[in-house]
Chains A and B, each alone.
Chain A
Amino acid sequence: MEWFRKSSAPQKGEPKKEIPDGLWTKCKNCGEIIYVKELEKSFWVCNKCDFHFRIASQDYIRLILDDGQLEQFDDNLVSDDPLEFKDSKKYTERIKAARKKSGLNDAVITGTGNIDKKPVSISVMDFTFVGGSMGSVVGEKIARSIERALEKRIPLIIISSSGGARMQEGILSLMQMAKTSALLALLYDEKIPFISVLTNPTTAGVMASYASLGDIIIAEPQALLGFAGQRVIKQTIGQDLPPGFQSSEFFLEHGFIDFISHRKDLKRNISLALDYMAVQPPGQK
């Protein structure tokens, strides 16, 4: 099949992080001045306050997969401009700029790898690319990632980081929610496990589709999670939002995620959960 074109990770330029280049940086949460080398060792988590810096998709690959090895698929998929969308900038220009800035072709990287020697089909979203927004490319790559889990009968992992559907592809973006969820119905019936990991932020169209459909759902601490945007909610109800609203902790409290995992424990938590959720033999409906 044509789309099984492989490329090894990492590729092109290094995607940008929340962290500036340099020896020292300041924690966005507590203001602590941290040695960047230290931060790297602690998985980009502040030693003082446990603030989880936003990291790139490639960093999660290194963090989660054995030897940081991803066999990447479908990296040749790029956005088209079906709506000929143009505001202050043409959509095609916006995409071109995002590709240049992030070194990525779109807001998700997908492929296969191992977690403690257990093969998985994995998708990792990247907020750097147009806010991690889901257009046709993200939807298609996630869809293929689900199909890979189905074909190989291996667990599916999706690490989300997204502001939602990509406005510039209109209703086509919206339908990526249905497309990915439709394939997850097949995975569900085949009893192949799906672990959804939510990072800061995971909202709107992504939260209201695959990100919410994991057999288990794990979130990083203090991530922004939710459906509607805070500005819109504030406007609608005409009052301020309670503290901690739409955080990982809020989601846990209200029963919509299974647990919150510190980044340093993420691989171990996923690996352990996979041991309990073995792929069932085919045809066991």
Chain B
Amino acid sequence: MQYLDFEKPIYELEKKISELKEFADGENLEISNEIKVLSSKLEKLQKDIYKKLSRWQRVKIARHPQRPYSLDYIGYFVDDFIELHGDRGYADDKAIIMGFGKIDDRKVFLVGQQKGRDVKQRQFRNFGMCHPEGYRKALRGFTLADRFNLPVVIFIDTPGAYPGIGAEERGQAEAIARNLREMCRIKVPIVIVVIGEGASGGALGVGVGDRVYMLENSWYSVISPEGCAAILWKQNPQEKYEEAAHNLKVTAQDALELGIVDGLIDEPLGGAHRDPESTAIKVKEQIIRSLDELEGLSIEELIRGRIGKYRKMGVYKEV
């Protein structure tokens, strides 16, 4: 287990307990009692830290290197997954995975932004940052799902669309814009779960659907706290990430309160990486509930509902 900076007291206590456990043979009462005392202390400490996470701390959990990624969730609850590749125009963007699969025998089409876990995989997946061909690959998937009447399930997890020369040459803006429009024209249910990072247009480019859920410790905003800090504080922006995250209201709870997402999915104390399997079960249950809700709708109701959902977003005054 890798620990984040603010988890240091938890780490130290957990280490102590596991060291004591090595000595304990079940006969030394003193040690068993000590373990008991420390365990209850740990429980309290965990509650103290995890129940009062700052927004910036949640961003760190969303980026935890052991956090489950799209393919992990697919591994936990999707059967007979057939991965499909390529945008049929330029390339196969490895930062996006997609394919057919079954969730409890229900046939669906899955699309996910994919990060890598080790150095090599991270590079292979381009850190989860899509190029235009990634958005176009996803659109090919949506269109395929539409033609064969398969509901679409999408996992969002990206630090942003890739900012590079090739990405601009191949129309990053056009690719995202087109998806925003075309995802409103797809005639099958679209259920979205933000599982980690939802950075700006890079996330929204595969993020328009009928239901949008966020994992408790995921974040979603118009810009990353670092990007925001760099714009607002020219001097030592790295000291201002906490403030930027706070200002931007980046957390799942914030998005829910602002009326942007339909609900949150609980994570185990400390984050999804502490128990990926139980997290996956909750994600799966939410997807199934959402698909059940949407299945009965006519195409007209579905599309009208989807467009209507976004039509309502925004806060302004009339004077």
Interface residues of A (CB under 8 A from B): 2-3, 76-80, 82-83, 85-88, 135-137, 139-140, 143, 165-167, 169-179, 181-186, 188-189, 203-205, 207-213, 226-229, 232-233, 236-237, 241-242, 245-246, 250, 254-256
Contacts and interface: CB of A to CB of B under 8 A. Distances in A.
B173 A174 contact: no
A173 B205 CA distance: 14
Contact of A83 (B162, B173, B248, B316): B248
Interface in B168-212: 168-174, 176-178, 180-182, 184-185, 200-201, 204-205, 207-208
| 9 pairs of A and B residues whose beta carbons are closest in the complex | A228-B163, A181-B180, A136-B314, A212-B177, A185-B184, A227-B172, A207-B173, A82-B315, A227-B173
A77 B316 contact: yes
Nearest to B176: A208
A233 B248 contact: no
Contact of A213 (B161, B181, B310, B314): B181
Nearest to A209: B177
A173 B222 contact: yes
B311 A254 contact: no
A181 B177 contact: yes
Nearest to B184: A185
B129 to A, nearest CB: 9
Given A2-B318, A183-B311, A188-B181, A174 B171 contact: no
Contacts of B164: 228, 233, 236-237
Given A77-B316, A208-B177, A254 B169 contact: yes
12 contacts: A2-B318, A76-B319, A78-B317, A169-B222, A177-B177, A179-B311, A188-B181, A209-B180, A212-B171, A212-B178, A227-B172, A245-B165
B181 A185 contact: yes
A236 B167 CA distance: 12
Nearest to B174: A212
Nearest to B177: A212
A95 B316 CA distance: 12
B228 interface: yes
A80 B258 CA distance: 13
A205 B161 CA distance: 12
Given A171-B220, A182-B311, A254 B171 contact: yes
B208 A246 contact: no
Given A226-B168, A227-B176, 20 more contacts: A77-B317, A80-B316, A83-B247, A136-B316, A165-B200, A170-B221, A170-B249, A171-B250, A174-B201, A175-B204, A179-B313, A181-B181, A203-B173, A213-B177, A213-B178, A227-B172, A227-B201, A228-B163, A229-B163, A256-B171
Interface residues of B, number: 55
B265 interface: no
B17 to A, nearest CB: 40
Contacts of B185: 185, 188-189
A209 B177 CA distance: 4
Contacts, number: 198
Contact of A78 (B171, B221, B233, B316): B316
A139 B178 contact: no
A178 B182 CA distance: 11
B311 A171 contact: no
Interface of B: 161-165, 167-174, 176-178, 180-182, 184-185, 200-201, 204-205, 207-208, 220-223, 227-228, 231-233, 247-250, 254-255, 258, 260, 306-307, 310-311, 313-319
A250 to B, nearest CB: 8
Contact of B168 (A87, A139, A176, A227): A227
A171 B255 CA distance: 7
A211 B177 CA distance: 8
A227 B161 contact: yes
Nearest to B219: A171
A166 to B, nearest CB: 8
B165 A237 contact: yes
A246 B243 CA distance: 32
Nearest to B220: A171
Given A175-B260, A256-B171, A136 B315 contact: yes
Nearest to A196: B177
B177 A210 contact: yes
A16 B310 CA distance: 33
B167 A228 contact: yes
Contact of B181 (A184, A204, A205, A256): A184
Nearest to A231: B230
B222 A171 contact: yes
Nearest to B260: A171
A140 B227 CA distance: 26
Contact of B311 (A136, A143, A165): A143
A139 B260 CA distance: 15
